Chain A
Amino acid sequence: MSAEFPTVTQHAGEIEPGQSLWQDAWHRLRRNKMALIGAVFVALLAIACFVTPLVAPGAYEKTNLALGAAAPSHAHWLGTDILGRDMLSRILYGGCISLSVGLAATLVSVLIGVLYGAISGYVGGRLDVILMRIVDIVYSLPFVVFVILILVVFGRNIVLLFMAIGAVSWLDMARIVRGQVMSLKKQEFVEAAVALGLRKRRIILRHMIPNVLGIVAIYATLIVPSVMLLEAFLSFLGLGVQAPMSSWGTLINDGRKSMEEYPWLLIYPSLFFSLTLFSLNFLGDGLRDALDVRASKD
């Protein structure tokens, strides 16, 4: 059969077929040192944060009033706070909360935002107008007041905090995804999919969403730090997690109060927080470069 139609020489042999654009992007990402360092740092920190409660449960709330606020030493690498609690444990515990908030809220925002944006962008017309006006309305509500209101009405609760932050952070995601989908919609493969008799739902789920996931991944890595900042801010205002639990926001807030006498109480949590934000931003940047379609060979 194929003898009848001589085939165009492919770059067969060079590359094993089945290299997806994702794998391509992964290769490019691996060449970006800063992004890689960022990813490794976040990964190690996350492991440390989530393992600490299992290895040393309760360490963060064990007080040692006799010790008081001690400077970093062999026993307490990052010192202790005013109540004599080990700072390293508290920071790692706090990281657990902060990272969870970041991840959970990002997950919520990705789930809602991507579906909402994809439907709005693909279906278009009147539905698009209605959905986008809803986004505009929610967007115009003062963001922080909205979260504070939720927390005041329903009481302080970590799960609620996750939900509240997630509920407001999907708006940008929805807008970005909608824009992407609208431009994708004009591509021939979508037309081809319609011509093949596919349903809207299948086109959105199988053809639209995989194509926007690159952008979504980039944006998600940028949402994580912004959500963590928001959590820190709310905790700073006293609306976040409650003592004796800690998050990086509350630790920084506590440290601020005594920064002249015991600077390590402010410096170390801030350092962890900043480094994490840095890493996530570098990772996001690297992802953007790696997933940039124009940069990929074609």
Chain B
Amino acid sequence: MDYAMRSMCARPRIDMPLLEVTNLRTSFHTRHGIVRAVNDVSFAIEKGDTLGIVGESGSGKSVTCYSLMRLIPEPPGKIEGGTARFDGIDLLQASPEQLRKIRGKRISMIFQDPMTSLNPYLRISEQLIEPLLIHEKISRADALKRGIAALEEVGVPDAAKRIRSYPHEFSGGMRQRVMIAMALITKPELLIADEPTTALDVTVQAQILDLVKKMQRELGMAVIWITHDLGVVAGFCRRVQVMYGGRIMERAATEELFQQTAHPYTRALQKSIPALQPKGAALYTIPGMPPDLSRKIDGCPFAPRCEFVQEQCGQPVELKNIAPDHATACVRVQKGEINLKTNERQ
């Protein structure tokens, strides 16, 4: 009985999310002061789920994920507080040894620029099987076989031959395929994709998106997809959170985010997608500039650019649920003072 109790306690509960981030705060200590890049961010992702993190440059979306992987250069960066529980381990407190066992094995990452994320002096084969060699007890020959299989899986033609190539012999799209193969070769439980399609041209973008979707179906892994492109999110993610000024502005299931928009910033972002606007209409741009994060912002960071701004927006804001699994940080929406749902089109 006692044994059974203990073993129950030791195991994570079934309904526990795969990754649960609470109150993450990351800042950079620069000469111009402290830049609060991520300010009190909490979110969770379930096994096999897809979460999109959307925001413009400097919104803290990448820093959030880099913090989870502890890839923030310290100094000048510093994770000031919070927890990130992954299968019972707090990634933010984990020892280097614990981290090494998770990185590349249970959580993998793909990066923005495929041109620079491969070592130019090593053959693809060497880099591709590296995660296998360090994380699994496997012979080189077997690892190579799996490397070739992984390349075929991501659609690299003539993989057995091409695996002997060097990175500069591959195009950008091909390199991103290699990066994906490399990230997935250990069958991770969570994939963090940091704008992996931004540096690629549009047709290749679609291929890469399809590829990650397919691999997700096959491996049943969870994916966090960081992007500034709402369009990508719409086609790929089940849930989305919108970040601005280092905070989460709104979080909802993708469809709900588009149809029941509950934050003026999300609205503004949608309005800036040219494809959603009538032909010939002037391009919508959000007035003003992104906030200077080296200054302490008490209220809503979007307030200076918001068309619905009121005095109360200067008060501290909090992410609150307005519907099950739909949260917004806009005080006025929370109070029901404004309604963004009517999708009036100019």
Contacts and interface: CB of A to CB of B under 8 A. Distances in A.
A188 interface: yes
Interface in A1-33: 1-2, 4-8, 10-12, 15, 17-22
A258 B152 CA distance: 75
B84 interface: no
A298 B168 contact: yes
B131 A197 contact: yes
Contact of A197 (B105, B154, B164, B168): B105
B211 interface: yes
Given A1-B155, A192-B111, A210-B122, A8 B173 contact: yes
Interface in B147-182: 152-158, 161-162, 164-166, 168-171, 173-174, 179, 182
A1 B152 contact: yes
Contact of A5 (B118, B130, B134, B210): B210
Give the residue among A19, A188, A198 with the most B Cβ atoms within 10 A: A188
Contact of B103 (A6, A12, A194): A194
A206 interface: yes
B319 interface: no
Contacts of B152: 1-2
Interface string B266-287: 0000000000000000000000
B103 A211 contact: no
Nearest to A187: B116
B310 to A, nearest CB: 42
B179 A192 contact: yes
Nearest to A3: B155
A21 B155 contact: no
B130 A2 contact: no
B157 to A, nearest CB: 5
Interface in A264-298: 293, 296, 298
A188 B111 contact: yes
Nearest to A202: B134
Contacts of B71: 191, 194-195
A15 to B, nearest CB: 7
A10 B113 contact: no
Contact of B121 (A2, A18, A20, A298): A20
Contacts of B112: 188
A191 B155 CA distance: 25
B182 to A, nearest CB: 7
B92 to A, nearest CB: 16
B164 A18 contact: yes
Contact of B135 (A18, A197, A206, A296): A197
B109 A195 contact: yes
Interface in B62-105: 69, 71, 99-105
Nearest to B162: A17
B120 interface: yes
Contacts of B113: 188
Most chain B beta-carbon neighbours within 10 Å: one of A193, A196, A207, A293: A196
A17 B135 CA distance: 28
Max count, chain A CB within 10 A of own CB: residue among B118, B121, B122, B168 = B121
Interface residues of A, number: 38
A191 B62 CA distance: 13
Contacts of A74: none
Contacts of A18: 123, 164-166, 169
A194 B105 CA distance: 12
A211 B119 contact: yes
B335 to A, nearest CB: 42
A195 B71 CA distance: 7
Contacts of B116: 187-189
Name the residue in A1, A22, A202, A207 with the highest tally of chain B Cβ atoms < 10 Å from its Cβ.
Answer: A1
B204 interface: yes
Given A7-B157, A195-B109, A202-B134, A21 B174 contact: no
A206 B166 contact: no
B119 A15 contact: no
Contacts of B166: 17-21
Nearest to A212: B121
Contacts of A192: 109, 111, 117-118, 179, 182
B207 interface: yes
B130 A198 contact: yes
13 contacts: A1-B152, A2-B155, A4-B155, A8-B174, A8-B204, A12-B157, A12-B158, A18-B165, A21-B120, A192-B109, A195-B71, A198-B104, A207-B119
Given A195-B69, A207-B119, 7 more contacts: A1-B152, A18-B165, A19-B166, A192-B182, A193-B119, A198-B104, A207-B122
Smallest CB-CB A-B distances: 8 pairs:
A196-B104, A17-B165, A197-B104, A5-B155, A197-B103, A188-B117, A210-B121, A195-B109
